A and B are shown apart, each in its own frame.
Chain A
């Protein structure tokens, strides 16, 4: 997509009509384009007016559920801006702050506890995770599958059967759309098992959670923040390990 064309996506973006990758890419553009941001704000306001034509009072029970729900939820801390400079670089990741990071950290912690129970001798700190990635990448039986996501970036999955682990390496990967996370999956026939969330970082190497030895493929989907137990959308990339070299 040319830079001129991308400005024309304001309307589709304002009405949530982009697919996940287009959306991620447009949000990257949006952070650096004042004109598009202003236009999106106006078009969202305009689109919202369309709802005037379809009003339907909700069942009374919904009000009670909403009010019961909010009483148990603390509003987020406000965004405290110490620097007024625009976030041109990696906008979505910064704008979302460190919530996705915390989620990833929490998952890592859970994985760590699991490891402690089943393999009390296995250390589970960050150094070990890095080492684990290197062990897979350098394994003699390492198989690689590369997927080019076009303007959204590139990713490679490396799996070692002897290590029973897989690693994903990304290059120039756009951040997941706001409010979303990339989630990794092991796919074995009809069996789809989460392999953890992928932190928002354009260039990274992540060890997938869980045994990878028997997986037929690895997939990436875009999921609501925090991930899902089963994929809720079609994958943006599938790495077919049966064709791995």
Chain B
């Protein structure tokens, strides 16, 4: 099957930064035992990425705060079920954040469809030049470098999916390509990033 790939030997295990992955996993383990201070430290190490991601997807700062708060409450509730053997603690948290952010934009859209009088209360905020630049880090540069090697369609497909919160069907429509192509570009793009950044499970 073409989706099976040998894991390269000695590939460095990469995880979203903001703290050493082992430390973050340890903080979650302590949180699972009820240690709120450990969870606070986990929050401090991850909140800029969690909030930044939520903000990028939902755009509205108040909504982004709600999404981030809900995600951390979920993380606290389910930290007893986090398994460090299955992925990094930051990756685990950001998966929760992303899911909640996407649910938020889609439910807002569903509400809009049902209620014509509903008004989108915010214009998209332009955070590209300000906060993002200010917090650019070496890791961010490395990720940007990897993203820059994608083909245009791969990059657009990945960004529309991850940051835009669109479904693959919507991405296909936006990029004016067949669904099968969108599906493949999304996966190929991610796989290329995975290999460039040495993410191993």
Chain A residue, CB-CB nearest to B115: A190
- A69/B69 in contact, CB under 8 A: yes
* A84 at the binding interface (Cβ < 8 Å): no
Cα(A54)–Cα(B80), bound, Å: 28
Cα(A175)–Cα(B156), bound, Å: 32
With contacts A8-B3, A62-B47, A73-B76 known, is A55 near B166, CB below 8 A? no
- Chain A residues contacting B63 (CB-CB under 8 Å) are none
- B98/A16 in contact, CB under 8 A: yes
Q: How many of B's residues come within 8 Å of A, CB to CB?
A: 93
- Chain B residues contacting A66 (CB-CB under 8 Å) are 43, 68-69, 72-73
Cα(A75)–Cα(B165), bound, Å: 29
A49's contact among B5, B14, B166, by CB below 8 Å, is which? B14
Cα(A49)–Cα(B199), bound, Å: 10
Task: Give per-residue flags for B96-110: 1 if the beta carbon is below 8 A from chain A beta carbons, else 0.
Answer: 011100110011001
A47's contact among B55, B80, B135, B190, by CB below 8 Å, is which? B190
Chain A residue, CB-CB nearest to B113: A234
Task: Give per-residue flags for A215-245: 1 if the beta carbon is below 8 A from chain B beta carbons, else 0.
Answer: 0000000001000000111100000000000
- B127/A56 in contact, CB under 8 A: yes
Cα(A42)–Cα(B88), bound, Å: 10
Chain A residue, CB-CB nearest to B132: A54
With contacts A35-B3, A48-B91, A48-B95 known, is A15 near B190, CB below 8 A? yes
The interface centre, meaning the residue of B97, B158, B168, B191 with most chain A CB atoms within 10 A of its CB, is: B168
B139's contact among A7, A19, A52, by CB below 8 Å, is which? A52
* Dominant SS among interface residues on chain B: helix
With contacts A47-B190, A51-B52, A234-B113 known, is A35 near B197, CB below 8 A? no
With contacts A17-B161, A70-B39 known, is A49 near B16, CB below 8 A? yes
Chain B residue, CB-CB nearest to A4: B1
* A12 at the binding interface (Cβ < 8 Å): yes
- B3/A67 in contact, CB under 8 A: no
B88's contact among A45, A73, A231, by CB below 8 Å, is which? A45
- Chain A residues contacting B103 (CB-CB under 8 Å) are 224, 232
* B81 at the binding interface (Cβ < 8 Å): yes
Q: How many of A's residues come within 8 Å of B, CB to CB?
A: 58
- Chain A residues contacting B111 (CB-CB under 8 Å) are 232
B65's contact among A10, A17, A57, A59, by CB below 8 Å, is which? A59
- Chain A residues contacting B91 (CB-CB under 8 Å) are 44-45, 48
Binding site for A on B (CB under 8 A): 1, 3-5, 14-18, 31-32, 34, 36, 39-40, 43-44, 47-53, 55-56, 64-65, 68-69, 72-73, 76-81, 86-88, 90-91, 94-95, 97-99, 102-103, 106-107, 110-111, 113-114, 127, 131-132, 135-137, 139-140, 142-144, 147, 158, 161-163, 165-169, 171, 180, 183-184, 186-191, 193-194, 197, 199-201
Binding site for B on A (CB under 8 A): 4-5, 7-12, 14-19, 35-36, 38-39, 41-59, 62-63, 65-67, 69-71, 73-79, 179, 224, 231-234
Known: A39-B5, A50-B143, A56-B131. 5 other contacts (CB 8 A): A12-B186, A16-B102, A55-B52, A78-B81, A231-B110
In the complex, the 5 A-B pairs of residues with the closest C-beta atoms, listed nearest first: A11-B187, A58-B51, A232-B107, A56-B52, A48-B94
